[in-house]
Amino acid sequence: MTSTWLITGGAGYIGAHVVHALTRAGRRTVVVDDLSTGSAARLPAGVPLETCSVLDTVALADVMTGYDVTGVIHLAAKKAVGESVDRPLYYYDQNVRGTASLLEAMRATEVRRLVFSSSAAVYGVPPAGPVTEFTPTAPINPYGTTKLVCEWLIRDAAAAQGLSWLSLRYFNVCGAGSPALGDPGVANLLQLTLRALTAGQRPKVFGADHPTPDGTCIRDYLHVADLADAHVAAVEALLGAGGLAEYYNVGTGLGASVLDVLDTAREVTGLHQPYEFTARRPIDPPEVVADPARIAAELGWKAQHDLSAMVESAWAAWEAPVAATA
């Protein structure tokens, strides 16, 4: 019998890509989303959507029972770093209490498989060199802290409830699997750059004096379609073995500087606005690049898209009329 996976936040930018990838892999899904940032139009035909909050434990349990759910992919969360600094209580409520609510619903319905959407933000300002799963966790903002607290919560609940779980620590996600699934937000570097270029404005560069080859921050950028495939690999692992309790970095292992991203965006779009350099921000680590060796060795996953593919897909979605509403 085909298993059914509950995807919280499945109508959002990343969530919809995960649902599409699981559907292509032959997995049944049901989506729970409060549609505060998601859209039903993003979902594949035939995928059921239950509109409710992850804070509603009873509603979650009803969905798990009603759809005979085998496992959960928990993506529903607030994720804007700046907003988390301004509204830490809101982030703890939505992210930590939301995860506790989900775990309680899983306990009540005896659902024992969980994939958690975590973040490289749990590492804060890591030491120089590739970031492994054993790099110390020391988040520097409330968003990163809530993700780390959720990991602790899952670890402890798993020990008590007999859960099998995997935590995927995403690095810098961008791009689009199709124009209709583009990122509707304008918060990450690539989206901010596309907005500036199309408006005839100068893209901003925060700091040109970092200890990096060109003086700008270096990050590990990951195509959202590759990230979605990592979730499929995680589901297969959880279905294939019990007692899993692991953390995985999900990245390419390759760093790109701010100027690399801006230069690629100018090349792809044909819009050649000059940069505007401004002071560096204290919240920006100079370099954060994943070591993805563990997920490659244990789950058989490896990123397939390079930076040019990410920018090209993001630009196609930016230009598409459906991108703003899908």
Give the residue numbers annotated as catalytic, written as ranges: 143
Give which of 250, 264, 258, 240 is closest to 313, Cα–Cα: 264
52, 30 Cβ separation under 8 angstroms: no
Q: Is 323 helix (H, G, I), strand (E, B) or coil?
A: helix
The CA distance from 291 to 77, in Å, is 25
**If you count them, how many residues does the chain have?**
326
Q: Which residue has the tokens 């109508």?
A: 11
Q: Which residue has the tokens 């492994």?
A: 132
Strand partners, 31: 7, 49
- CA–CA distances in Å: residue 225 to residues 17, 77, 82, 318: 6, 19, 26, 16
The CA distance from 247 to 237, in Å, is 13
* Cα angle value 295/11/255 (rounded, 5°): 35
